């Protein structure tokens, strides 16, 4: 009980909440990207994968609920900490300069809020079908039964250059967010010692870049007509 109180109420404890929820969300982003990259393996691969997820509620729903809990913990804690940070300096300096801080570090709250807005948009688009309602109606035959044609949904969705532009910009901000966040989580948990400091910083930047390139490859390939 005391441990939970220390973790959820202290300044350092809430950084652990940020770090652990952030780390799990980071792993989800990698998994999500790998799943979607199956679009390059062909229509059947992607549709079979999507059908497997949909047809396995014992996997789908715990993952959905878990992600929602993680996202709420990450966002609520971030906003709480940010409000406290503003309160800690009621009167700003004349001409604010922040020393030694990377752009990604300074923009972490902004990039996070944009990514949040993007997640809402992304869910409305491909999960709830509010952006392109016809997207959820495409079907394809799979093992003798009609299943949702996710491949066609993605191709149609990203053929719209405006929608693709939104995705590309948001992936840029996600990349920026992760390039600081992934290295920061090691520091917050106390695992970033001088011996690993540079390696962890590089790992964060490289993994953020891989996620950016991997996710952007899909709309770019569709816009260029490489995936039809």
Partner 1 sequence: MSETTMNLTLRVWRQKNAQSAGTFVEYEAKNISVDMSFLEMLDVVNEELTARGEDPIAFDHDCREGICGMCSLTINGKAHGPLEATTTCQLHMRSFKNGDAITVEPWRAKPFPVIKDLVTDRSAFDRIIQVGGFVSVSTGGAPDGNALPIPKTDADAAMDAAQCIGCGACVAACKNASAMLFVAAKVGHLGLLPQGQTERDRRVLHMVAQMDEEGFGNCTNIGSCSAVCPKEIGQDFISRLNRDFLKASLRAK
- Binding residues for partner 1, rule: CB under 8 A, are 2-3, 6-7, 10-16, 81, 84-85, 87-102, 105-106, 108, 180, 183-184, 186-194, 197
Q: How far apart are CA 192 and CA 198, in angstroms?
A: 9
Nearer to partner 1, 64 or 197 (CB): 197
The nearest distance, CB 107 to partner 1, in angstroms, is 11
Count the neighbouring beta carbons within 10 Å of the beta carbon of residue 97.
Answer: 6
Q: Name the residue nearer to partner 1 (CB basis): 6 or 199.
A: 6
The token duo for 219 is 């709309």
Structure tokens at 166: 């939104």
3 state DSSP class of 92: coil
CA dist 39 and 147 (Å) reads: 16
In the complex, the smallest distance separating the C-beta of residue 71 from partner 1, rounded to whole angstroms, is: 19
Q: Residue 151 Cβ, how far from partner 1 at the closest point, in Å?
A: 41
Measured between alpha carbons, how far is residue 162 from residues 157, 166, 212 in Å? 10, 6, 18
Nearer to partner 1, 88 or 224 (CB): 88
Closer of 47 and 179 to partner 1 (Cβ)? 179
| CB nearer partner 1, residue 12 or residue 76 | 12
Q: Are 158 and 223 in contact (CB under 8 A)?
A: yes
Containing H/E element for 10?
none
CB of 17 to partner 1, least distance (A): 12
CB 208 within 8 A of CB 179: yes
Q: How far is the CB of 22 from partner 1 (least distance, A)?
A: 12
Residue tagged 């109606």 (tokens): 137
- Nearest distance, CB of residue 222 and partner 1, angstroms: 37
Q: Which is nearer to partner 1, 97 or 143 (CB)?
A: 97
CB neighbours of 26 closer than 8 A, spacing ≥ 6?
A: 178, 181, 182, 185, 207
Best CA proximity match to 105, nearest among 209, 213, 205: 205
Q: Choose between 160 and 187: whose C-beta lies nearer to partner 1.
A: 187
Least distance (Å) between residue 178 CB and partner 1 = 14
At 30, list the tokens: 């990698």
């Amino acid at each position: 009980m005391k441990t939970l109180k220390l973790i959820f109420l202290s300044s350092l404890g809430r950084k652990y909440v940020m770090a652990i929820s952030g780390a799990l969300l980071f792993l989800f982003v990698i998994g999500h990207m790998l799943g979607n990259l199956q679009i390059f393996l062909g229509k059947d691969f992607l549709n079979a994968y999507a059908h497997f997820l949909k047809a396995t509620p014992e996997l789908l729903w715990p993952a959905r609920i878990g992600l929602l809990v993680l996202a709420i913990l990450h966002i609520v804690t971030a906003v709480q900490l940010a409000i406290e940070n503003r309160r800690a300096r009621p009167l700003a300096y004349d001409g604010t300069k922040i020393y030694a801080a990377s752009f990604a570090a300074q923009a972490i709250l902004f990039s996070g809020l944009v990514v949040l807005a993007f997640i809402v948009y992304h869910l409305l688009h491909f999960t709830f079908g509010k952006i392109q309602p016809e997207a959820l109606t495409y079907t394809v035959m799979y093992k003798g039964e009609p299943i949702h044609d996710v491949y066609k949904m993605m191709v149609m969705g990203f053929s719209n250059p405006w929608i693709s532009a939104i995705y590309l910009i948001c992936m840029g901000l996600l990349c920026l967010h992760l390039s600081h966040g992934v290295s920061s989580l090691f520091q917050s948990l106390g695992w970033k010692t001088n011996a690993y400091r540079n390696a962890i910083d590089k790992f964060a930047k490289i993994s953020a870049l891989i996620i950016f390139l991997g996710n952007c490859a899909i709309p770019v390939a569709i816009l260029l007509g490489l995936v039809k």
